[in-house]
Amino acid sequence: MKKLLLAAGFGLAMAASAQAADKIAIVDMGSLLQQVAQSSGVSQTMKNEFGGRASELQGMESDLQAKAQRLQRDGSTMKASDRSKLEKDIATGRQEFAQKAQAFEQDQARRSNEERGKLVTRIQTAVKKVAADQGVDLVIPSNAVIYNSNDVKDITADVLKQVK
C-alpha cells in the first residue's frame, strides 16, 4: 500500500513538473544589460560626465612624469635647494594625484552602479511584461541554469524588443 501511494505521489509530481515546464522561461541578463547599455548610450553619458576629470588626471600624470625625468636627468647637477624643492614638488604632486584618482574612481564606480541599477530596473519591468503576456510563471536567469532541455522558453529577444 505504501509503495502504491508513493508511486502515485511520484507520478503526480512528474505530471505537475511537466505542466510547470511550460510556464518556465529563461533570460540572458548579461546579454540584455550589454545590449541595452549600448543602445541607450550609457557609455557615452559616462564618458561625457567623466571625460574632463580623466583628462585632468592624465595631465597631472604627464606633468609628474616630466618632473621625475627632469630630476633623474638633472638631479646630480642641480643645486641642493632646487633638487630638494623639485623632490618635494613631485611628492606633493603624487599625493594630490593619488587622492584625485581615488575620488575619480569612486565617483565613476558610484555612477556606473546607478546607471546599471536603472538598466536592471528597465529590464526587470520588461521581463515582467513579457512573462505576463506569454503566460510565464517563472523566469530564471540563464547563467543560473545548470541544465535546460530545449522545451524551456528563452524570452531574451522578446525582452530586448520590449526594453527598446
Model confidence pLDDT, tens digit, residues 57-103? 999 999 999 999 998 988 888 888 888 999 999 999 999 999 999 99
How many domains does the chain contain in total? 1
Per-residue pLDDT of the chain (164 residues; tens, 9 = 90+): 444 334 444 444 444 454 555 689 999 999 998 888 887 788 888 888 899 999 999 999 999 999 999 989 888 888 888 889 999 999 999 999 999 999 999 999 999 999 999 999 999 999 999 999 999 999 999 888 888 777 788 899 999 898 87
CATH of the domain at 127: 3.30.910.20
Domain membership of residue 17 (yes or no) is: no
- CB-CB contact of 117 with 89 (8 Å): no
- Report how far residue 32's alpha carbon sits from residue 36's, in angstroms, rounded to the nearest whole number: 6
pTM above 0.85, yes or no: no
Domain membership of residue 19 (yes or no) is: no
Domain membership of residue 53 (yes or no) is: yes
The share of the chain scoring above pLDDT 70, in percent, equals: 87
One-letter amino acid of 24: I
CA contacts within 13 A on the Cβ side of 17: 6
Closest CA to 22 of 136, 104, 128: 136
What is the strand order of the sheet 138-141 is part of? 138-141, 24-27, 153-154
Domain membership of residue 13 (yes or no) is: no
Domain membership of residue 120 (yes or no) is: yes
Using only the alpha carbons of the chain, give its radius of gyration.
29
Domain membership of residue 8 (yes or no) is: no
The residue range of the domain holding 104 is 24-162
- CB-CB contact of 113 with 73 (8 Å): no
Domain membership of residue 12 (yes or no) is: no
Domain membership of residue 3 (yes or no) is: no
Residue 163 CA: distances (Å) to CA of 22, 39, 76, 119, 148: 24, 10, 64, 9, 25
